[in-house]
């Protein structure tokens, strides 16, 4: 992407952050995939006995993993998986479509891993699922199909295999 | 994010998503959501604000137990940088 495009993007990111009404207006003009019906799965047992997983679309990944593709204007439908026990200092964020300066200082702003660990220690939840999953939440065009037919179902399958009994999702 | 959430729920794992965009959430229709009128990049609030982050996460987790109606969007109404989290 050219420098002018990058500059335009940087300005938009700050405008959307500080002027929520502008973001809402943008969203009204943007075409989102409208849900048909609402899927539903009840929680099978109390939270204090349940295995909780987290999925974020904030572009988090291990520093050792390849970053999300920032060059494609339609985004990147791939995901990154990393251990829930990962050291926070090994995590980073690749995402230029939101201001992640706060999350860079404290990852809990977008992925509350410390808070979830505390709730596990207190017995509020049963346990934490072994793997965290992360997408980059700026997916459009042909990548939407990849997300819906390939990568999101793969993450769902992995979560099921790993014993996740409920999932909290966090955006950017 | 709601699309991913719907796909996970379709595999029979209950989900709740935090959202900063209510209108988008109402269009995509995930099964459970917690809406905050917070700026982009701050779904759990402010950096190092442990009580705020914890309250929002507990609200979301509790929604997994309490929400009975598919499509419910919880709206705790915390005002950005003004709400006092005890």
Least confident range from A18-32, A63-77, A130-144: namely A18-32
Q: How far apart are CA A89 and CA A118, in angstroms?
A: 18
Residues 1-40 of B with CB under 8 A from A: 1-21, 23-24, 27-31, 37, 39-40
Closest CA to A135 of A119, A116, A154: A154
Q: Collect all residues with Cβ–Cβ distance below 8 Å to A27 and sequence separation of at least 6.
A: B21, B23, B24
Residue in A27, A57, A114 nearest the CB of B24: A27
**pLDDT tens-place string over residues A59-104:** 999 999 999 999 898 899 999 999 999 999 999 999 988 899 999 9
pLDDT band of residue A35 (cuts 50, 70, 90) is confident
**For residue A99, which residues of chain B lie inside 8 Å, CB to CB?**
39-41
Q: Name residue, tokens 């207190």.
A: A122
Q: What is the pLDDT of residue A18?
A: 72
In chain A, domain spans:
1-32, 43-170
Q: How far apart are CA A52 and CA B60, in angstroms?
A: 12
If 0-12 CB within 10 Å is exposed, 13-18 middle and 19+ buried, where does residue A2 land?
exposed
Closest CA to A71 of A147, A14, A138, A170: A138
Q: Does position B86 have pLDDT exceeding 90, yes or no?
A: no
Predicted complex ipTM: 0.98
In chain B, domain spans:
2-13+23-74
**pLDDT tens-place string over residues A148-159:** 999 999 999 999
> In B1-81, which ranges are E strands?
15-19, 32-35, 72-74
C-beta atoms of B29 and A137 within 8 A = no
């Amino acid at each position: 992407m050219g420098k002018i495009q990058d500059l335009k993007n940087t300005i938009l990111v700050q405008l959307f952050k500080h002027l929520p009404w502008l973001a809402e207006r943008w969203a009204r003009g943007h075409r989102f995939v409208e849900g048909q019906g609402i899927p539903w799965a009840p929680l099978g047992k109390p939270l204090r006995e349940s295995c909780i997983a987290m999925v974020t679309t904030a572009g988090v990944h291990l520093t050792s993993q390849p970053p999300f593709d920032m060059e494609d204007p339609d985004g990147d439908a791939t995901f990154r998986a990393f251990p829930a026990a990962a050291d926070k200092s090994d995590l980073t964020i690749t995402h230029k479509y939101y201001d992640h300066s706060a999350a860079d200082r404290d990852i809990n702003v977008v992925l509350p891993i410390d808070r979830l660990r505390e709730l596990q220690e207190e017995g509020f939840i049963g346990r934490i699922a072994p793997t965290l999953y992360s997408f980059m939440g700026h997916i459009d065009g042909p990548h939407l199909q990849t997300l819906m037919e390939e990568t999101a179902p793969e993450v769902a399958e992995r979560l099921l295999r790993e014993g996740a009994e409920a999932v909290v999702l966090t955006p950017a | 994010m709601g699309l991913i959430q719907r796909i996970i729920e379709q595999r029979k794992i209950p989900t709740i998503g935090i959202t900063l965009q209510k209108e988008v959430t109402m269009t995509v229709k995930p099964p459970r959501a917690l809406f905050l009128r917070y700026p982009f990049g701050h779904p759990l609030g402010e950096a190092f604000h442990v009580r705020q982050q914890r309250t929002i996460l507990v609200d979301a987790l509790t929604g997994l137990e309490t929400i009975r109606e598919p499509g419910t969007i919880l709206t705790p109404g915390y005002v950005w940088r003004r709400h006092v989290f005890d």
